[in-house]
Structures are given as structure tokens and as C-alpha cells.
Amino acid sequence: MIERLQNTVPDVAKEIIELQKRSYPIEARLLGVKELPPMADTAEQIENTTEMFFGFREGDRLLGVIGCEELREVNVLARLAVHPDYLQQGIASRLLEHLLGEVPLPLEVMTGRSNTPAIELYEKYGFHYEGDSVMTEEGIELVRLVKT
């Protein structure tokens, strides 16, 4: 079941952080780096962000989370994480579909060029490449995808 997460509640923020700690190391390995910025997030940062969060729960377990923030008159998909034991079960697709029903377009996301699963997911939902890629300090080539 997908629900709006109240990230300002400390226990909910901790759940989001715990899910990220499990999920993002897989993406880091895929991108050939040891860490990604979300891996350094704290519960306090999650509590204080202006992002809107939705979570996919099975019973009382948070298995997936998506976060979106409005910046410069565009919504930015800031994070999408799925528990590693539940990958390839449609959770990311369901979260993205839900978010698309909740926020106005345009919606943009930045992801690593070599993160093929993420790019394929975004393209499946009508996102397209826009602009030049950007190289991070960690050596990750980021691409920007937009749904208008």
C-alpha cells in the first residue's frame, strides 16, 4: 500500500534513512563508487527537508520510498529507494506512478548514466533526456531526464 509519509515525525524519518542505507549501496556499486550522497543523510535532514515523501508498505514494513521537491517551478524527483530484498517486484513503478498522479509536471530527475535500471524505468513513464550530462566529484556522470 502506498501512503504519504510524515517525514517530520522522527520515527518515520528513521525508517526512510534505514531503507536508504539498505538500498543505495546497490546503486553505488552499479555506478562504481563507494558512496552516494543519500547514504550520508541523517534522520534530522529528512525531518527538515521540504521534500514530499510517499512510501510503499507491506504490513508495517517500509519497502520503498519516493521523495519529490518543488524547485524553480519544477518538481524534482529527489530519491527513489526500494529494499534490496524486494527489487524487481514493481515497487518502484508503483511509487513513480503514484507520484505522477500527485504532482504537476514537469518532473525531472538526475541519475547516473550507467544506472540502466533507473533510466529504463523513467523512460517507460515518458521521461526523456534533456541537457548535457554533469560529472560529479565522485566521478559519476549524471544525466537529467524530464517528463513534461
Q: Any idea which of 38-42, 106-110, 123-127 has the lowest mean pLDDT?
A: 38-42
Report whether pLDDT(45) > 90: yes
pLDDT digits (tens, 9 = 90+) for 57-100: 999 999 999 999 999 889 999 999 999 999 999 999 999 999 99
Residues 6+ apart with CB under 8 A from 73: none
**CA–CA dist 81, 100 (Å, integer):** 16
pLDDT digits (tens, 9 = 90+) for 31-40: 888 888 788 8
In this prediction, residue 29 has a pLDDT band, given cuts at 50, 70 and 90, of confident
Phi then psi for residue 117, to 5 deg, are: -60, -40
Nearest to 23 by CA among 52, 55, 48, 71: 55
Mean pLDDT of the chain: 94
